[in-house]
Amino acid sequence: MQTTSLGRGGWQPGRPVSEWANAGRCGEHQGVVRRRWSSIVVAQFLLLLHNEDALSDSPISRDIAGQLVFLGTGTSHGIPMIGCGCPTCTNSNPKNQRTRCSLLLGLPQGNLLVDTPPDLRTQLLREGIGLVHAVLYTHEHADHLFGLDDLRIFAHYLGHDLPVYCDRSVEARIRTTFDYAFDPATRQYPAGGVPRLAFHPVTGEPLQLLGAEVMPIPLRHGRYHVWGYRFGNVAYCTDTNQIPPESQPLLEGLDVLVLDCLRQRPHATHFSLDEAVETAHRLAPKRTLFTHVCHDLEHEATNATLPPGMELAYDGMRIPLGIEE
């Protein structure tokens, strides 16, 4: 009789379970088939245990200390947009391939992630980033939030819940949308099974975060209130079409302003190109980088029209932060 052990003739790494289950089925005794299926269950259970054990305790991560990395610079559809054949979406220049907006900052005490877009996993892999020490949210829209599940590996690496800084409405959205992460039953899972988050409030007061002071900046995004942030002399203001007068003093004297700029035509919740350029002239940073860009704006053609000191950011772009402990 054919053996059903896992070692010989049973499931083997690299051999699909379906192939093994179907092998030699014709004309065999039913008891053999039954034992094979029970072995499949055992094999899959062992595979799960193996995977659990296989979580590394020492992640490999590129050193980005002192740098700001643009993980994503695209609008909510991402570029290329699904099904679109426009000149930007079909352009071979990688700077026209824009994933949904997020940033990574190499602060003195670790890596700070700003927002968790649906592209988060591929963004971190692309940039060689294996460890995030804290997360900061601008607002609760899906293109900035729905990659949150990929944070679950970091509680395992850190050995504690991942610190998350956000306002009450973002926290409420996270607790509703990712309710499984807060179920007492799933909280019993080992770190890595579900996201394990420790919330810290964003209220408008300066934050002490990973060895740096971070200044929240109130912004308007159509009818929504969102947060921009200032890190030293670099500010990030995505998803906005209005900087309230009381926020403007917080954006003076910047080396770099990262500013929302969706497209040429006006939009209800984002700056148009002309509005973004006018805002940059008014705030007068040394350098302005536009983000949350849609497919109306081809990278090189748009940059050729912009005033000196202004350009479109692109995925993977890095700039110095100028923050030291």
Tell me which residues touch Zn ion (CB under 5 A). Answer: 81, 84, 86, 89, 141, 143, 239, 295
In this complex, which beta carbon is closest to Zn ion, that of residue 200 or of residue 267?
A: 267
Judged by beta carbon, residue 36 or residue 141, the one nearer Zn ion is 141
Give the closest residue to 303 by CA, choosing from 242, 261, 251, 253.
Answer: 261
Residue 172 Cβ vs Zn ion, minimum distance, rounded to whole Å = 16
- What's the min distance (Å) between Cβ of 256 and Zn ion? 20
What CA–CA distance (Å, rounded) separates 101 from 70?
8
Residue 255 vs 296, nearer CB to Zn ion: 296
CA angle 68, 73, 74 (to 5 degrees): 165
Pairing assessment for the beta strands 224-231 and 234-237 based on DSSP bridges: antiparallel
Looking only at the bridges linking them, the beta strands covering 207-209 and 212-221 are antiparallel
Q: Which is nearer to Zn ion, 98 or 295 (CB)?
A: 295
For Zn ion, which is the closer residue by CB, 127 or 239?
239
Tokens 């395992």 correspond to 156
CB distance 130 to 59 below 8 Å: yes
| 120 neighbors 143 (Cβ within 8 angstroms) | no
CB of 267: closest distance to Zn ion in angstroms? 11
The smaller minimum CB distance to Zn ion, of residues 55 and 84, is found at 84
For the residues of 260-290, what is the DSSP string, one character each?
A: E--BSS--SSS-BHHHHHHHHHHH--SEEEE
Task: Return the closest-CA partner of residue 9 out of 34, 28, 36.
Answer: 36
Whether residue 99 contacts residue 120, with contact meaning beta carbons closer than 8 Å, is answered with no
- Nearest distance, CB of residue 220 and Zn ion, angstroms: 11
Residue 240 beta carbon to Zn ion: minimum distance, rounded to whole angstroms: 9
From the CB of 229, what's the least distance to Zn ion, in Å?
15
